[in-house]
Amino acid sequence: MRSLIRLFIFTLLFLGVSQSIQANSFVTKSEPTKKRANILLIVADDLGFGDIGAHGSEISTPNIDALAANGSRFSNFYTQASCSPTRSMLLSGVDNHRNGMGTMAEDLLPHHKNLPGYRGYLNHEVVTVASLLQDAGYHTYMTGKWHLGYADNQSAHARGFEHTFSLVDGGGNHFNDQGMNANKPKSTYRRDGKIVSRPEGYSSDLFTKEMKMLIDKRKMDDKPFFAYLSFTAPHFPLQAPKKTIEKYKGRYDSGWQVIREQRFRKMKEMGIIPSNAILAKISPELTKWSSLSKEEQKNEAKKMAVYSAMIDNLDMNIGVILQYLKEIGEYENTVIIFMSDNGPDPYDRSERKAYQGLVSKYNYDMSYENMGASNSYSFLGPNWSQTSNVNQQGYKFLPTQGGIHNPVIMRFPGMLEKGKVMTEFSSILDITPTLLELAGTTHSGKHYKGRIVHPLSGRSMLPYVSGKAKQVYAEDEAVSFELFGHASVFMGEWKAVKMRPPQGDDHWALYHIKTDLSETNDLSDKHPKTLQLLTQAYAKYKLDNGVLTEPDGVTAYPTKPHYVKYKH
């Protein structure tokens, strides 16, 4: 009898607790009844605006092109001018001076010491999109380049990614764990936060294989996933599978200007740029192909063949991951974003001691025949970088179009019109807010799990993407950027740019960017009031975000003559 009474009491208690848990879950959990979309975010490294077939390139990129045909190309989207600042803004939605990446870790100088915005890693005063999506019931996966912190508590796994396989550094050998230079001759890899040995495989192949393995782990449930596939191609060193390099043998024997003009014509035909756009003259600091010796031309053509092979292989791996999503029945329910983190890298570092030291340490074979192999090391250089950017001025590290105006393709099933070119301004700061709205969750604004955090700097593009809004920003709203002392500010159809020496004269230039994508016609004298509006907006941005005024004569990068290998 007593046993029956105890069993009865226990049953009542259990039912009460169970109902209480269910009630509390119902109150706190905000699961939409409709299945939420998966998110696949793909980032290429130092890929130029004109380097994909969907933007007029001769490089074979059928999978990226198919994404563009089934989604939309964003022709007015901007990033930061270099790797880690862009990625910090991409994953937080917060300006790089607030999130700790006012400059890259590799370029911290004595005057940056103790400044909160210049720590060289993604600080804990921001919350990542991965953390917020994980809180909202998403699986979160990351493979590839991290470049946002070296310490344990700065790893991708510590910043909201449930499972990871990450390259901690900004780059490295594409075939093994050898580093970028003699200052760090061996790259560091982490799996779920723990330092591990690098498996065999070419970088893009490896990161894609690892991502498939991570997504495959979710078979135990039907939760949506956020997958961040962060390639290191086509970042230097120029290395690619030999068979893919062979595809491009002889393709670039005509030289950089011929290829540049071919791409430009194709871009016009595709509607990526206006039909009346003008191809700016080749920069006087660059080299005429005809001035090179036959041996120099042969060497340069091989460089571009290897670079193209890197992009070709990257595209192939995008095809692999998309086919995998189709096989597991998740492709149609996955939002896909493809982008480059910044423009092409023009610097030939072969004369720097740090790179010569690496070549010596590993006994690299720098011959023409071996170019592109795992034991070779070469750079794209400024001349092919101009071809990569086609009609745009400048490159990576600069706020000119060639540094921050990069290819972006988005596929939002049921929203974006297939094949459309989206022409309204948006930026890297807007990705996190967009993904949060898509997932049906929000950023707290000021607090996250007991710590004070910065609110979002960007805004959701979803109203624009879904057709409910005609633009992301109003015509009188300004968006500003700064890196290495160079500045840019956008407002409506206008862009103002200021670059410090040696790249500029530290004075503002004004461009009607809608009609002058090449930034060839400075209108600062003709529209002084417009320029004043933009520079006042920038002054406020600088004050609000703790942007440092870089001292004269101090720069992290070489002056122009140091990276021009050939002369007229």
Dihedral class, residue 397 (left if φ above 0, else alpha if ψ from -120 to 50, else beta): left
Instruction: With H, G, I as helix, E, B as strand and everything else as coil, classify residue 384.
Output: helix
Judge whether 341 and 234 are in contact, CB under 8 Å: no
DSSP 277-329: ---PPPPTTS--GGGS-HHHHHHHHHHHHHHHHHHHHHHHHHHHHHHHHHHTT
Beta strand spans in 75-220 (E): 77-78, 139-145, 163-167, 178-181, 184-186, 189-191, 194-196
Q: Where is 354: in which H helix or E strand?
A: helix 353-361
Judge whether 93 and 402 are in contact, CB under 8 Å: no
Q: Which of 55, 97, 147, 235 is catalytic?
A: 147
Judge whether 57 and 315 are in contact, CB under 8 Å: no
Alpha-carbon span 377 to 519, nearest angstrom = 33
Distances (CA, A) of 96 to 132, 298, 507: 19, 41, 23
- Which residues lie closer than 8 Å to 319 by C-beta, 6 or more apart? 62, 63
Distances (CA, A) of 304 to 289, 384, 564: 13, 7, 16
Alpha-carbon span 481 to 476, nearest angstrom = 17
Q: Name residue, tokens 């006994």.
A: 363
Q: Which amino acid is at 89?
A: M
Residue 337's nearest CA partner among 90, 39, 61 is 39
Q: Which amino acid is at 388?
A: S
Q: How many CB atoms lie within 10 A of CB 540?
A: 12
Judge whether 432 and 456 are in contact, CB under 8 Å: yes
Instruction: With H, G, I as helix, E, B as strand and everything else as coil, classify residue 78.
Output: strand
Q: Is 147 a catalytic residue?
A: yes
Q: Is 527 a catalytic residue?
A: no
* Residue 11 tokens, joined: 């049953």
- Which residues lie closer than 8 Å to 1 by C-beta, 6 or more apart? none
Distances (CA, A) of 258 to 54, 160, 246, 387, 560: 19, 46, 21, 9, 24
The crossing angle, in degrees rounded to 10, of helices 381-389 and 294-327 is 50
Q: Name residue, tokens 């990069």.
A: 406
* Residue 307 tokens, joined: 């670079």
Q: Which of 55, 83, 139, 454 is catalytic?
A: 83
Q: Name residue, tokens 């002084």.
A: 528
If you ran DSSP here, which 8-state letter would residue 83 be given? H
State the catalytic residues. Answer: 83, 147
